């Protein structure tokens, strides 16, 4: 017989963390309605593309890839936030990450599908997508991409779910006032979790192992995404630095996204006690390191190009520095490096508001950065006669907006269904995840009654 409830580690913030789950406000419904409308607009835009072809975008010859591929790289990059916080920092033993892991992993789980969607949207013949399976050629970087990104998506969902498991059981046991369908979902998803010490022990071990695997995946995935460009012979793309460059950019923009998400959650759900300034300060230091690292990569790449002065590369170089893309390029430099560095170093300490400003700038800039890596090279191919240009259309804009709306919607709904701070991981008991021995034995011996009477 399966006990109805289970053991849950004690967490003095449990009520604060669970409180968002106990109600859905009118503001929520308005937000979801607005986001759904934006997604509807995107769906309509895509329907035009489905019927008329990719010609409804601004894509042309030689700019074969544009906003959609930028979105692809951007969303996959955002996904690295979660894995960085939950997997890499876990391996580093950084305890301060604990309250942040779920919110960060949620970004991963909810941004990856839109990265995948971006690529599907870019395909000329989406109806033939299964050809990738039937006729896949592993010599193509696109197949490396399909493999890595699918594995990463799948693994992230599993990692997220497993980390969520004890808290789903908690929701099942504590949230008795929510709708019946919701309680049933918790019951189903909890997989009969009982909170036995051995279960917690095994869970920790599996998460440790998966953290190692996910770290390797993070490195692989974004490097492989970069190699879609790097493996061609296009000037500006065909550089050995592109893998590490994209990887750093992903972790960078992802971490900034975590700051934004956490700050919003902290404010909207009144979690000032749970999400203190301290983890934000740690993220601030990481962001400073990342922005300096980004500068290093940019200098390494562009100085090398400039010094070598290869004509084909210099065409692309000048496009960015002084040509058509100069406004975007310098805006990027301002929003990814100059402003965030100043804000984070001088204004950011202990001030979450300023950190959010810097993080928003960083994410805006990083989207532009992906665009500026992709498009200028295309406008100056070798053997150029006639110069390339690119003007995105409303279709690309609507679809981009709907992807962001989709991610935010999934995230917002998630925060009303599941605790956004991991209750079991931030619990007080020293062996945070294991109950005192006596209680465990009592629990298991007498079944659920004892647990229910002694929460």
Partner 1 sequence: MSIGKAIEAFFTSAGPGGMVVITVISLAAIVYFLLTRWILRGGEQNE
Partner 2 sequence: MPRWGMVIDLDKCTACQACTVACRVENNVSFAGPDEYRRSRAIFWNVVVGVIHGEFPEVRAEYIPMPCMHCDNPPCVKVCPVGATYKNQEGIVFQDYDRCIGCRMCMQGCPYNRRYFNWRVPEWPETFSEYRNPDFEARPRPKGVVEKCTFCVQRLRWAREEGRPIGSDYPDGVVPACVETCTGGARYFGDLDDPDSIVSRLSRSPRAFRLQEELGTEPKVYYLRPGQWTAER
Using CB under 8 A, list all residues that contact partner 1: 132-140, 143, 146-147, 150-151, 154-155, 158, 162, 165, 191-193, 196-203, 206, 444
257 binds, among partner 1, partner 2, none (CB under 5 to 8 A by kind): none
228 binds, among partner 2, partner 1, none (CB under 5 to 8 A by kind): partner 2
155 binds, among partner 2, partner 1, none (CB under 5 to 8 A by kind): partner 1
Measured from the CB atom, the residue of 50 and 306 that comes closer to partner 2 is: 50
Q: How far is CA 63 from CA 60, 67, 110, 337, 356, in A?
A: 5, 10, 29, 27, 34
Separation CA 323–CA 372 (nearest Å):
12
CB of 443 to partner 1, least distance (A): 11
In sequence order, the 6+-apart residues with CB closer than 8 A to the CB of 342 are: none
DSSP state of 244: H
What are the residues binding partner 2 (CB under 8 A)? Answer: 52-55, 58-65, 122-126, 128-129, 131-132, 134-137, 139-143, 146, 228-229, 231-234, 378, 381-383, 385-386, 388-389
Measured from the CB atom, the residue of 236 and 279 that comes closer to partner 2 is: 236
206 binds, among partner 1, partner 2, none (CB under 5 to 8 A by kind): partner 1
H or E segment and range at residue 95: none
201 binds, among partner 1, partner 2, none (CB under 5 to 8 A by kind): partner 1
What b/e string do you get for 97-124 counting C-beta neighbours within 10 Å, with b at 16 or more? bbbbbbbbbbbbbbbbbbbbbbbebbee
203 binds, among partner 1, partner 2, none (CB under 5 to 8 A by kind): partner 1
179 binds, among partner 1, partner 2, none (CB under 5 to 8 A by kind): none
Using DSSP's 3-state secondary structure scheme, residue 92 falls into coil
CB of 132 to partner 2, least distance (A): 6
Rounded to the nearest angstrom, the gap between the alpha carbon of residue 432 and the centroid of all alpha carbons in its chain is: 27
Using DSSP's 3-state secondary structure scheme, residue 367 falls into helix
Single out the residue of 119, 39, 106 nearest to residue 73, CA to CA. Answer: 119
Measured from the CB atom, the residue of 167 and 378 that comes closer to partner 2 is: 378
Calculate ∠ Cα 79-80-81, nearest 5°: 90
Measured from the CB atom, the residue of 23 and 201 that comes closer to partner 1 is: 201
219 binds, among partner 1, partner 2, none (CB under 5 to 8 A by kind): none
CB of 211 to partner 1, least distance (A): 13
Determine whether 398 is exposed, middle or buried from the number of CB atoms within 10 Å of its CB (0-12, 13-18, 19+): buried
H or E segment and range at residue 130: none
Q: What is the DSSP string of 103-127?
A: HHHHHHHHHHHHHHHHHHHH-TTGG
What b/e string do you get for 8-30 counting C-beta neighbours within 10 Å, with b at 16 or more? bbebebbebbbebbeeeeeebee
CB of 150 to partner 1, least distance (A): 6
CB of 392 to partner 2, least distance (A): 12
Measured from the CB atom, the residue of 4 and 126 that comes closer to partner 2 is: 126
Single out the residue of 327, 321, 280 nearest to residue 298, CA to CA. Answer: 321
CB of 407 to partner 2, least distance (A): 24
Measured from the CB atom, the residue of 39 and 73 that comes closer to partner 2 is: 73
Measured from the CB atom, the residue of 151 and 328 that comes closer to partner 1 is: 151
196 binds, among partner 1, partner 2, none (CB under 5 to 8 A by kind): partner 1
Measured from the CB atom, the residue of 198 and 431 that comes closer to partner 1 is: 198
CB of 93 to partner 1, least distance (A): 22
CB of 325 to partner 2, least distance (A): 17
CB of 12 to partner 1, least distance (A): 26
DSSP state of 57: S
């Amino acid at each position: 017989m399966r006990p109805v409830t289970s053991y849950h580690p004690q967490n003095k913030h449990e009520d604060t963390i669970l409180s968002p789950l106990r109600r859905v406000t009118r503001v929520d419904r308005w937000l979801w309605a607005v986001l759904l409308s934006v997604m509807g607009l995107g769906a309509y835009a895509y329907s035009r593309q489905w019927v008329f072809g990719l010609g409804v975008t601004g894509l042309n010859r030689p700019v074969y890839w544009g906003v959609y591929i930028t979105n692809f790289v951007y969303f996959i990059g955002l996904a690295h936030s979660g894995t960085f916080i939950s997997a890499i920092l876990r391996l580093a033993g950084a305890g301060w990450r604990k309250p942040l892991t779920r919110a960060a992993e949620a970004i991963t789980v909810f941004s990856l599908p839109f990265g995948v969607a971006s690529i599907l949207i870019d395909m000329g013949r989406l109806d033939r997508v299964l050809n990738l399976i039937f006729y896949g050629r592993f010599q193509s970087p696109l197949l490396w991409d399909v493999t890595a990104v699918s594995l990463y998506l799948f693994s992230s969902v599993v990692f997220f779910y497993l980390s969520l498991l004890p808290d789903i059981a908690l929701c099942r046991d504590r949230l008795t006032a929510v709708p019946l369908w919701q309680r049933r979902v918790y019951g189903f998803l909890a997989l009969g979790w009982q909170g036995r010490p051995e279960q917690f022990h095994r869970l920790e071990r599996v998460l440790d192992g998966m953290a190692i695997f996910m770290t390797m995946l993070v490195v692989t995935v974004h490097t492989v995404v970069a190699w879609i460009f790097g493996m061609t012979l296009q000037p500006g793309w065909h550089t050995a630095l592109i893998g590490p460059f994209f990887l750093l950019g992903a972790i960078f923009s992802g971490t900034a996204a975590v700051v934004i998400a956490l700050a919003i959650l902290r404010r909207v759900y009144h979690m000032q006690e749970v999400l203190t300034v301290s983890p934000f300060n740690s993220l601030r230091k990481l962001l400073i390191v990342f922005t300096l690292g980004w500068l290093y990569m940019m200098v390494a790449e562009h100085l090398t190009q400039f010094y070598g002065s290869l004509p084909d590369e210099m065409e692309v170089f000048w496009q960015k520095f002084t040509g058509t893309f100069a406004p975007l390029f310098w805006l990027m430099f301002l929003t990814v490096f100059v402003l965030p560095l100043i804000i984070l170093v001088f204004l950011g300490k202990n001030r979450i508001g300023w950190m959010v400003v810097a993080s928003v700038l960083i994410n805006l800039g990083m989207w532009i950065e992906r665009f500026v890596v992709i498009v200028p090279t295309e406008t100056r191919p070798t053997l150029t006669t006639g110069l390339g240009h690119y003007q995105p259309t409303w279709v690309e804009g609507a679809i981009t907006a709907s992807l962001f709306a989709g991610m935010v919607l999934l995230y917002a709904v998630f925060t009303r269904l599941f605790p956004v701070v991991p209750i079991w991981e931030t619990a007080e008991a020293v062996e945070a995840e294991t109950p005192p021995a006596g209680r465990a034995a009592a629990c298991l011996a007498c079944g659920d009654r004892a647990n229910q009477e002694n929460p």
